[in-house]
Structure 1
């Protein structure tokens, strides 16, 4: 899996930008499953997203999924267009 591991609390220190390829549609079902895992089972998901400093990877619980964002702990939003990989 690609991406430098960072703590989810440090996301604000990075400028999130769109990934080279928009994988919103292909990741949608996986994101729905990640949200269900987070809400029902408190399971963590590995998320890789693009920043100006290159890909970053976090392990976190997905709280909610909207048309344009995933929301994680503390109300942090990550744009779907910036996602590179999602795994659990």
Structure 2
């Protein structure tokens, strides 16, 4: 799996940038499922996103989903256009 694994608390240390390909539309269904898994079952998903330092991966629960962002624990937002992959 691509992306260096980091802790969700470390996300703020990185500058998140748009991924080479915007996958927001194709990942929408997966993100909705990830949100349901997080809210109802406290299940974690692997989210890979683009930063200036290269792809990073975080294993976390998705708390909410908007048209532009996913929100994870502690109010951390990750822009949808930065997402590379979402895996359960």
User: Under a length normalisation based on structure 2, what TM-score does the superposition of the two structures give?
Assistant: 0.99
Q: Which runs of 4+ in 1 moved over 3 A?
A: none
- 1:64-79 map, 5 Å: 64-79=64-79
Q: For 1:46 and 1:28, locate their aligned partners in 2 and report how far apart those are by CA, in whole Å.
A: 15
Unaligned runs of 5+ in 1: none
Q: For 1:45 and 1:64, locate their aligned partners in 2 and report how far apart those are by CA, in whole Å.
A: 13
> What is the RMSD computed on CA atoms of the aligned residues?
0.3
Q: For 1:45 and 1:80, locate their aligned partners in 2 and report how far apart those are by CA, in whole Å.
A: 15
Q: Post-superposition shift, 1:57?
A: 0.2
Q: Post-superposition shift, 1:2?
A: 0.5
Q: For 1:51 and 1:6, locate their aligned partners in 2 and report how far apart those are by CA, in whole Å.
A: 12
1:84 is matched with which residue?
84
Number of equivalences = 88
Q: Secondary structure at the match of 2:43?
A: coil
User: Under a length normalisation based on structure 1, what TM-score does the superposition of the two structures give?
Assistant: 0.99
2:3 is matched with which residue?
3
Q: Secondary structure at the match of 2:9?
A: helix
